[in-house]
A = this chain, B = another copy of it.
Amino acid sequence: MGVDTGKVRIAVLGTGLMGGPMARNLLKAGFPVAVWNRTRAKADALSGEGAEVADTAAQAVADADFVISMLSDGPAVLEMVTAVCDGLRSGAVWIDMSSTKPSEARAQARLLAASGHAHLDAPVSGGTRGAQDASLAIMVGGEADVFARAEPVLRALGRPVHVGPSGSGQLAKLANQGIVAVTIGAVAEAMLLLQKGGADPAAVRAALKGGFADSTILQQHGERMTTGNFVPGGLSKFQLKDLRNVMAEAEGLGLSLPMIEDVTARFQTFCDLLDGAEKDHSGLYLELLHRNGTET
């Protein structure tokens, strides 16, 4: 990957909790980086580290070989692409690292293709810690040759893997979120069974370490459940938003996914009726307790 980082210009659109540390890691890797953020103060914080702070998104992208967007949702990204795509330089690649629907990722790609530009959807997993440590899991959809060109840039942010054509990165993120939600539900039932049956859940989690039932969810979320710590972490309202996107995608593909459908309904109950929206997603345990007519 012998890329001359000093000559590859990058624009980062959206320098919030995730985009900010990502821009910082690109600067550390030696890339010239132009940044733009709706609330300019968050972008200004990066100027001391060598970023060029642009007044407008159009200015930020004008000289960029790669545009990285890290915005709130799919509609925000589509609006941004629409606004600035005519001002991109020839050969520029747009890498959207926001979490969107796969269909929105494909719409971005079509819009950019129409003005002669390439696109990758590259959502991430790993949270703010992963963004800071440059250890993000990066799931990338798009053309293989475009991925190959972008890989040295993405390596400055974490571990990129090409997972298929346009939209596949977002599909992988949805698969990730579906597994996480159902596993939380499974661990909740196991923890309740152990507590009501008189075993020590912490000792059982230790006993199961490294086995088939083990996961970060068992160890971390399981501990949250049995100690009653639902301070986020991962907000339940975001988990619900992601699950609704899984359901929309499954419906579009004509698929029945019964466990994810069930857990979506239960996260909806938890958020809407049990005051769970702002609690950690391990709080699905509280929905299970409620369903069992018990509080502890």
Q: Are A200 and B125 in contact (CB under 8 A)?
A: no
Q: Are A253 and B196 in contact (CB under 8 A)?
A: yes
Q: Are B259 and A198 in contact (CB under 8 A)?
A: no
Segment of A35-43, A52-60, A205-213 engaged in the interface with chain B: A205-213
Whether a CB of chain B sits under 8 angstroms from the CB of A277 is no
Whether a CB of chain B sits under 8 angstroms from the CB of A113 is no
CB neighbors of B among A185-218 (8 A): 185-187, 189-194, 196-200, 203-204, 206-218
Q: Which residues of B contact A186 (CB under 8 A)?
A: 178-179, 182-183, 186, 259-260
Q: Which residues of B contact A163 (CB under 8 A)?
A: 199-200, 203-204, 207
Q: Which residues of B contact A171 (CB under 8 A)?
A: 193-194, 197-199
In the complex the two chains form, what is the Cα distance from A20 to B21 in whole Å? 55
Segment of A10-18, A65-73, A136-144 engaged in the interface with chain B: A136-144
In the complex the two chains form, what is the Cα distance from A11 to B100 in whole Å? 61
How does the 8 Å CB contact mask read for A135-178 relative to B, with 1 for contact and 0 for none? Answer: 00111010000000000000000010111110110011011111
Whether a CB of chain B sits under 8 angstroms from the CB of A75 is no
In the complex the two chains form, what is the Cα distance from A187 to B174 in whole Å? 12
Whether a CB of chain B sits under 8 angstroms from the CB of A274 is no
How does the 8 Å CB contact mask read for A3-38 relative to B, with 1 for contact and 0 for none? Answer: 000000000000000000000000000000000000
What are 5 inter-chain pairs, A to B, with CB distance below 8 A? Answer: A164-B199, A167-B198, A175-B199, A176-B211, A179-B190
